[in-house]
Homo-oligomer: A and B are copies of this chain.
């Protein structure tokens, strides 16, 4: 299909689908938001949603204005030994933030932080990012959600200080030094003994 074959109304339709997707993902989370319900809210056929955006994961990335499907990054962590997760995650995400696609990624994060309703950002973190990590660090059973959320707190703050506020020496610290310095924090959250009260 050539671009010239598209009708003038297409960009409006795409935006209507993305708006409906943002509302739906924020309201019910990623898993429960069906393409069908998003299509209905946007008054289009579900096939058109797939045609424009591909899979539900790709639609979600587009709704958040992420330059990549976050699962492409998260899939890197699936085969990493759990005792290496801390350093590997720091190395991978900092390299991503510092790359060309880091700019739109960080812009998307700032938009989510500034928004009045944190539900869409919460869906992204809980249903996509932490969902990929949680089962890997769920030892003893039931602690995975807490361990993953604690790691997210350090990662979010690293992004804020290095890429948004640009606080030195964190802003200019080499990736390998960050991995060696902040990696052990994530590792302790993942596999260390935590004072778990519930």
Contact = CB atoms under 8 A, between A and B. Distances in A.
A196 B125 CA distance: 31
Given A122-B167, A153-B182, A185-B185, 4 more contacts: A150-B181, A152-B157, A153-B158, A156-B165
Contacts of A158: 153, 157
A100 interface: no
Interface in A94-116: 110, 112-114
A196 B44 CA distance: 56
Contacts of A13: none
Q: Which 3 A-B pairs have the closest CB atoms?
A: A157-B157, A114-B114, A156-B157
22 contacts: A113-B114, A113-B160, A118-B166, A121-B165, A122-B165, A125-B165, A125-B167, A126-B167, A149-B167, A150-B182, A152-B157, A152-B161, A153-B157, A153-B160, A154-B154, A156-B157, A157-B159, A177-B195, A180-B195, A181-B195, A184-B188, A185-B185
Contact of A155 (B145, B146, B157, B173): B157
A160 B149 CA distance: 11
A155 B130 CA distance: 20
Contacts of A198: 169
Contact of A185 (B118, B164, B188, B195): B188
A78 interface: no
A10 interface: no
A194 interface: yes
Interface in A124-158: 125-126, 130, 145-146, 149-150, 152-158
A54 interface: no
B153 A170 contact: yes
Contacts of A2: none
A168 B185 contact: no
B169 A197 contact: no
